[in-house]
């Protein structure tokens, strides 16, 4: 299996690359931080190859994709994992964070599709794995930037799954809860049911190999977030607002 992972320099991406390498796959990883990227590759005993690029720059990804296919051959799986997270405070409104999240999370995924989907369509086969988040299921306090892009990613991937299936390209969605990564370690709020990166990587690789359309973990999020989607708007907004106020009062 030949796999390309964006956002592969740390966290989920790096852990999945290592797990795939242990299971015999040839893995290419991409991220902006070339030093961190090469560190992951150097620790993988030759099963992981580093190709630095910025997902926000379409041309860089297209160059990286061409170099990867020249090095390891046609890609079987592309895992679109690159992402950023920053909590927002709407009382000090600044749309910069939203624009940065759109550029990295959403358009980074689109740029990756530009780099690999035409080739998959030409071959009539391929697998796209998009890493979104349970934060995309509903609106959450402080997640105006992150949650917006994750909701858009889920919608994009679900639409692609429908339209690409007859053309031979499979689309899988990964929606994790909280995973212990450098991004989440910056958070100052409770993160229930935290998953370590190694466990997350095993879950993701198992899901890829089984061809699961959607994977949500850990289990409490699988149940809770699906049910949360069914809660009517008024009570959801009221309870969420009350919890947000309690959190702000606790910090004051």
Catalytic residue annotation: 146
Residues of the chain with pLDDT under 70: 178, 184-185, 187-191, 193, 236, 242-252
How high is the pLDDT of residue 76?
97
pLDDT digits (tens, 9 = 90+) for 1-54: 999 999 999 999 999 999 999 999 999 999 999 999 999 998 877 889 999 999
Total number of domains constituting the chain: 1
Q: Which domain holds residue 99?
A: 2-251
How high is the pLDDT of residue 187?
61
pTM of the model: 0.88
How high is the pLDDT of residue 249?
59
How high is the pLDDT of residue 89?
85
How high is the pLDDT of residue 179?
76
How high is the pLDDT of residue 195?
82
Which among 162, 157, 154, 160 is positioned nearest to 137, based on CA atoms? Answer: 154
How high is the pLDDT of residue 88?
84
User: Any idea what DSSP says for residue 179?
Assistant: B
Task: Kindly tell me the number of DSSP H helices and DSSP E strands found in the chain.
Answer: 9, 7
Alpha helices in the chain (DSSP H): 11-22, 34-42, 58-72, 96-101, 107-123, 146-164, 197-210, 219-228, 233-251
- Supply the CATH number for residue 188's domain: 3.40.50.720
């Amino acid at each position: 299996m030949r796999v390309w992972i964006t956002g592969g320099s740390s966290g989920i991406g790096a852990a999945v690359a290592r797990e795939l390498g242990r299971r015999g796959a040839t893995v290419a990883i991409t991220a902006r931080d070339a030093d961190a990227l090469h560190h992951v590759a150097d620790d993988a005993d030759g099963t992981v190859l580093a190709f630095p690029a910025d997902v926000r720059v379409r041309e860089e990804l297209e160059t990286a994709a061409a170099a990867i296919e020249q090095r390891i051959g046609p890609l079987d799986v592309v895992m679109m994992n690159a992402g950023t997270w920053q909590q927002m405070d709407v009382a000090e409104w600044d749309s910069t964070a939203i624009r940065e999240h759109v550029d990295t999370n959403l358009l980074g995924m689109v740029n990756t599709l530009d780099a690999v989907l035409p080739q998959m369509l030409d071959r009539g086969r391929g697998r796209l794995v998009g890493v979104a988040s349970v934060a995309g299921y509903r609106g959450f306090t402080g997640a105006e930037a992150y949650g917006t892009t994750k909701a858009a990613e889920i919608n994009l991937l679900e639409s692609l799954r429908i339209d690409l299936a007859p053309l031979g390209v499979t689309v899988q969605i990964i929606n994790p809860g909280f995973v212990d990564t450098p991004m989440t370690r910056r958070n100052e709020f409770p993160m229930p049911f935290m998953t370590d990166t190694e466990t997350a990587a095993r879950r993701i690789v198992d899901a890829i190999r089984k061809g699961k359309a959607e994977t949500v973990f850990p289990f409490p999020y699988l149940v809770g977030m699906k049910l949360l989607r069914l809660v009517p708007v008024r009570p959801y907004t009221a309870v969420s607002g009350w919890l947000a106020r309690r959190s702000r009062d606790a910090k004051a």
